[in-house]
Structure 1
Amino acid sequence: MTTAPPESRDHIYRSPMALIGGFLLLVIIGWLGVDAVVSGTGRTPWLALAAMILVVPLVVAFTLRPAVFANDDRLRIRNPFRVIVIPWGQVETFRSGYSNEVLVESGTKYQLWAIPVSLRGRKKAARQAARQAARPSDTRRPGRGLGLLGGGMQADAFGGRTSVPEGPVRAETDRIMDELRERLEARGKAKASQGEVSVRWAYEIVGPAVAGAVLVTILAAVG
């Protein structure tokens, strides 16, 4: 009896800024909501509780939840309200514009919420690339022992060696997309990377949010 080989470890991509922002929002919502529930009068505690049931899942959905898991066999995308599992054999290409997306063979595209495009990061990378291109290949000056020492190292003012960046400078999210494209090129035709795309709704997020919206509507209607 043969056993299937173990699945390779996931490489996880998430947005650090979204995680920090989500945590801070939850702290603020919890502080204000608990205070309203404990200290409020009349319908205020119930409205505060219903609002928390509505808002907390949405904050989690758009900040803490998004993630992209990539291993040798498939790409798993955890977006705010859905989980999409795509074998590499089904991935046609990755596209980067104002958002990062994956396009599958059927023509359907899915946005990668966990890898947002940073226009600021692209501008910063472009400035770094311009400075790198403008840097002379040999900074040796008469009377000084500075300059390129070979092997991608450059002497600093204290006689030590510092790394000289090689290759084009890329924004962080663009670099991540490059990594995903490389993995697609390496694993797209592998036998273990074939299969069908699956999509599952995140009922653990949708359910509480809908329940909170219904409660808020009812409490607002009864006045």
Structure 2
Amino acid sequence: MTTPEPQSPSPQSPAAESKDRVYRSPAGIVGGVLLLAIAGWLGIDAIVKGHGRTPWLALAALILVVPLVAALTLRPAVYANEERLRIRNPFRVIVVPWGQIASLRSGYSNEVVAKSGSKYQLWAVPVSLRARKKAARRTSRAAADARRGDRGGRGGLGGGFGFGGLGGGFSRGDADADGPMRAESDKVMDDLRELLENREQAETAQGEVTVRWAYEIAGAAAAGAVLLAILLATG
């Protein structure tokens, strides 16, 4: 989920402010590559070996499908630096300075709530309820192991020779060092909330929210849809 780029420790450095942490969905990227490979294989095969209208239908379908698949799987990303949060969703790019963010909310989806009341979903940081449940189970098991280690360290043969105490110490130390287990998307939101807390009052983190539509993707998909509709209508 996370591919953060290292930042310079000095927040006053221009290089530190311009360096982005980049968050993307590995599952989405892998799925997109596979879907594009399948679409390309089937489409090119139909174009090369097809007869009559088949090559044209395959070409129109490719023009429609490829931009949509790329937009929904490969394109989403979240870029965070010292000044702003840039959200690249399938059909929009939203730039939100930290000073304009009211909250970062996690539920069935992760989203940014601007002070104006507008909400922007983070497509690149999808929520996995399964991952949350798995993390909760791991946290419960770690806590249970720590309690068993504590009981073993306080008495018994293992406690007398130090084996129980040693085991309890490792379990308890790991739990304290790592804290509760967290799903990967929740870790990303924790990172963003920390940046928000540290930077929302900074002078360089103020400004207006900007939204730009990805006309290049919508235009390509629309062209494919129109071509496909014409071919089907005249068939």
TM-score if structure 1 supplies the norm length? 0.90
Give 1:154's match in structure 2, choosing from 162, 167, 170.
170
Higher helix share: 2
Give the residue type in structure 2 aligned to 1:18: G
Residue 200 of structure 2 corresponds to: 188
Question: Offset at 1:148?
Answer: 5.3
Alignment of 1:38-187 (within 5 A): 38-135=48-145, 136=147, 137-138=149-150, 139-140=152-153, 142-143=157-158, 145-147=162-164, 149=166, 154=170, 164-166=174-176, 167-187=179-199
RMSD: 2.0
Could you say if the C-alpha distance between residues 28 and 74 of structure 1 is closer, same or farther in structure 2, counting changes exceeding 3 Å?
Answer: same
- Of residues 203, 216, 226, the one that matches 1:204 is 216
SS at match of 1:208: helix
1:147–1:154 contact (8 Å) kept in structure 2: no
Q: Is the 8 A contact 2:21 2:81 kept in 1?
A: yes
Alignment pair present for 1:220 and 2:232: yes
Specify the SS of the correspondent of 1:51.
helix
Look up the SS of the partner of 2:116 in the other structure.
Answer: coil
Contact 1:75–1:85 (8 Å) recurs in 2: yes
Q: CA deviation at 1:105?
A: 0.6
> Which residue is 2:24 aligned to?
14
Alignment gaps of 5+ in structure 1: 156-161
Q: Give the whole-Å Cα distance in 2 for the aligned partners of 1:217 and 1:82.
A: 26
Which structure has the highest strand share of the two?
Answer: 1
1:84, 1:153 → 2: CA distance?
A: 47
Runs of 4+ in 1 over 4 A off after TM superposition: 147-150
* Separation (CA, whole Å) in 2 of partners of 1:148 and 1:13: 41
Amino acid in structure 1 at the alignment position of 2:225: A
Aligned to 1:159: none
Paired amino acid for 1:205 = I
**Equivalence for 2:3:** none
Question: C-alpha distance in 2, partners of 1:203/1:25?
Answer: 22
Letter in 2 for 1:30: G
% identity of equivalent residues: 65
